[in-house]
Every structure is written in structure tokens, then in C-alpha cells.
Amino acid sequence: MRTLTLLPFALSIAVASGACARQETSTIQAATKALGPTEVRSIEYSGTGKWFQFGQAPSPTLPWPAFDVSNFTASINYETPAARVQMVRIQVVEPGRARPAPVQQSPVQVVSGTYAWNMAPPPGAAPDTAPAPQPQVEAVEERTMEIWTTPHGFLKAAAANNATSQPANGGSEVSFTAGGNHRYVGRINAQSQLERVQTWIDNTVLGDTPVEITYSDYRDFGGVMFPARIVRTQGGHPVLDITVSKVTANPAVEIAVPDAVRNFTPPAVNVEMEKLADGVYYVKGGSHHSIAIDQRDHIVVVEAPQNEARSVAVIAKVKETIPNKPIRYLINTHAHFDHSGGLRTYVDEGATIVTHALNKPYYEQAWAAPRTINPDKLARSNKSATFETFTDKHVLTDGRRTIEVHQIAGSGHNDAFAMVYLPTEKILIEVDAYAPPAGNAPPPAVPSPFAVNLYENIQRLKLDVRQIAALHGPRVATMADLRAFIGQRSQTN
């Protein structure tokens, strides 16, 4: 678990010194004055627009997928500091892309000091269960960034952190470092309005990830000047595009850290091995599984999900179960960040990454980015990645066991999407196309197009499947389970 040094930043705001040089001070004072005469200690703004799901692009060549936002409300207390963002959103189904019918989501995301949490039903509970605080340790960095990149927040943080400034485009560029090693750069125009903020936050795939927020169409919202349009990009694509309709200066924003969040200790990464066949292990224990395959003189692992901490724990457990062999290949199903965030650890380990051809240039570009905020093992070893790619099919063999990697063609989930088939054991490994429901849960009323497409791919390739080892979900499934899930009663295949 990484340590975030945000508290000193918060404190430094409270004891803002007059350390800025005269020019910086006057630039920041003029920009603060341009926001209106009211001293803003807290703010609430709301509007409508779009939100985009970072890290879940349907293809490595496409932007993050869009959701329509019918309500966005951010409530920020700059003094504590704390923020609550509430949204009502529903996914936009792109023309020509078969997705499950979108379901409206109403996330509530909170940060206070060094604590972050969501208000949501507990994981695995029925959706109508009462919301309760769900700790989100990994979200502190991003949500803190969201506070100090708002117009008032940026100017307060600039004043408190010895900002420097230089002339730019008839205005000035103001920059400072805060919260440990987070750099913020703001562009203030000739009218003394903050029109853009750039910063960088850590990401498992993208490293130091650029975040850019543009503010335009400043208007007088009852005595406080605030941008009527806010666009935020992250990793080069939009994550938020909001038209602001209401702003309240100095509302009461009292956000107490719930005991369940304050006393939460993230559990150690749990890895459990379940033998599926001779030399084939289901690597479980968390929300995202892997598969380890014991080849004659090496190991093949399928999937490196989540992050380096999970990869380190999985690698240790795999090597304990299959001793004295190197992990030579890591097969990656697709580039969604929750399924590719642990890949770099396997590159550091010396494994070749097997992935769809579209993903290779994407990973190469992403992994070339600087990693100064949270250097991982690969950033320190500086090894270069090797890839084996395919478009339709790729085969790995040790002379005894064959491992087939097939494209899942035509899936709405992802355009560079793979599943793995072991012909001797008749095991299919897949993720995000079909997750077997727990227990005797009934199949969905409307079959998921992702699961229907998986079934069609299995039929097209004439794969003789006995076990489906899904990398999400509680258990191994059968073809009968998959057929029932998509509402097919036929017993052929």
C-alpha cells in the first residue's frame, strides 16, 4: 500500500505564508478577485452533461465510453478539506456496439483529508440495500486533486504552496507542487480568469497520467463568478463534460469521516489456488482471478489484473505451487485497466506478454510515460517489454500441452479481446463476456449480448468446452450453465 502525503498539504493551506514573490502574489490575488467579492470557504455547484468511464475504452484506439449525466453536484469544503460528488448517470450505447441494457447509476463519492469512501450498498448486496460507507483508499489521490483543481481551490493551493508564475498568452502560467509530488499548472488569461489546470495523478497502466481541466464561459452566479462549462480529460480523453446551472457560495458542507472508514485497514492481498486439472490452477482469492499453467520447463499465467500488489502476491503463490520454473508468458485478455494494471510486474519478472495486436502499441506508448509519482518495479528495473501478438489465434506449446489463445470476435465489450482454450483439458478461460452468477441465481431476463457473443464464438471455433473458468465470479461453470444464462434450452454442443 502506498503512502499519500496529503495531510501536510492540507495543513500548509491553513498556515498559508506570505512566501510568494510579489508577482505571483499579485497574479493570484487578481485571479481570486476576478471570482467575485465573496470569500469562498466552501462551494456547491451542479449541472448536467457527460461522464466517461476512465480505463474502460471499448478499444485501445477509442476514447473512454460516455454516460449521460442528468445531475452532477459537487459540494466542497476547502477548509477541512473535504468533498462530496453525487451523480445520476446512464451509459450511452454507441451505434453498432451491442451492450447490455444500461442501468441508471447514482454514485456518491466522498473524500475528507486522507480518507475516501463511497456511499453504496455493500459489495454483493442487493441493489436496493441501504447505502453505507464503502472505504475507497485508492481514490484519495484523485478526489483530492479534484478539490485543488477547482477555480477557488487552485488559487488557494497556489497561494499556500509557493507558486511560481511566468507570462503566457497575454496572461500567466502559475505552477506549484503539493501533496507530496503532485505538480499543478494553471493558465490565467488576460481577464485574470483561470481557464485551464493541468496536473498528473498515478495510474497502474498509464503511469503519471495527465489530467487537464478547462474552465470557460465564466458567469455571475449570485455574486460568485464560476465557469458555466467544465471539461476534464484524463489520459488524453474526456472524463467529464459538465454545463453548470447552479452555484452556491459558502453552503454548509459538513463531512464527518464515518468510523467504518476511519477504522478500515485494507486487507492483505489474498491468493487462493484451486486445481482445475493436472497442472492447471485457478488463482482466486479476490475479485479478479488468474490461471496458472504448469508447462514442462516454464509457467504460463493468464491475466494480470488490478495492480502490482496483486501481481506480486499471485507470482509468489504460483512459484510456491509450481517451484523452480520461470513464468515465461503472461496472456492478457484485454486492455481494460482492471485487467491490465498488473501486467508491468510480469514484464519485470521476465515474461513475454501475449495479447491482441491492437493492444501492443497501446501498452508500449502507455508504459513509456514517466512514473515519478509512484514508481513501480518495472520503473526501477527499466526492463523492456517483449510481446507476442495475434489477431485471430495464437498457440503456445511445451511439446506436450497446447494452449490456444483466440480472439473473441465481434464482442461489444472490447475490440481486442481474447479467451484461452486448453484442448486436452477442455477448459475455456474468459472474462467480462460471462460471469457465472452465484448459487442458483436465475439467469438475466434479457440475455447479455456479451455472453451470447461468447457462445457464438465457442460455436464458430467448434471448441469442445467442459469447464468455463471465468476470471470474475464465484465458480467454474459448464456449457449448460452458459446456455441457461443466455436463455438457450438446446442441448447440442
Residues that bind Zn ion (CB under 5 A): 336, 432
Looking up cell 441493489 gives: 127
257 versus 353: smaller Cβ distance to Zn ion: 353
119 versus 409: smaller Cβ distance to Zn ion: 409
Q: Hey, what's the cell of 400?
A: 506436450
Q: What angle do CA 437, 59, 281 make, to 5 degrees?
A: 45
303 versus 432: smaller Cβ distance to Zn ion: 432
Closest separation in Å from C-beta 69 to Zn ion: 22
Closest separation in Å from C-beta 433 to Zn ion: 9
- Cβ–Cβ < 8 Å for 109, 143: yes
- Cβ–Cβ < 8 Å for 470, 436: yes
> Which of 354, 342, 434 has its CA nearest to residue 387?
354
Q: Which amino acid is at 163?
A: A
Rounded to whole angstroms, how far apart are CA atoms 429 and 414?
16
Q: Longest Cα pair distance anywhere in the chain, in angstroms?
A: 80
DSSP secondary structure, 332-351, as one string: -----HHHHTTHHHHHHHTP
Closest separation in Å from C-beta 454 to Zn ion: 13
Q: Hey, what's the cell of 198?
A: 493541468
Closest separation in Å from C-beta 61 to Zn ion: 16
Closest separation in Å from C-beta 362 to Zn ion: 14
Closest separation in Å from C-beta 484 to Zn ion: 23
DSSP secondary structure, 285-312, as one string: SSSS-EEEEE-SSSEEEE---S-HHHHH
200 versus 450: smaller Cβ distance to Zn ion: 450
92 versus 185: smaller Cβ distance to Zn ion: 92
58 versus 238: smaller Cβ distance to Zn ion: 58
Residue nearest to Zn ion as judged by C-beta position: 336
Closest separation in Å from C-beta 432 to Zn ion: 4
Rounded to whole angstroms, how far apart are CA atoms 113 and 110?
10
Closest separation in Å from C-beta 493 to Zn ion: 25
Rounded to whole angstroms, how far apart are CA atoms 197 and 149?
6
- Cβ–Cβ < 8 Å for 305, 288: yes
Closest separation in Å from C-beta 139 to Zn ion: 20
44 versus 432: smaller Cβ distance to Zn ion: 432
DSSP secondary structure, 64-129, as one string: PPEEEEEEEEEEEETTTTEEEEEEEEEE---TT---PPP--B--EEEEETTEEEEEEPPTTS-TTS
349 versus 430: smaller Cβ distance to Zn ion: 430
DSSP letter at 258? P
Looking up cell 461453470 gives: 477
27 versus 457: smaller Cβ distance to Zn ion: 457
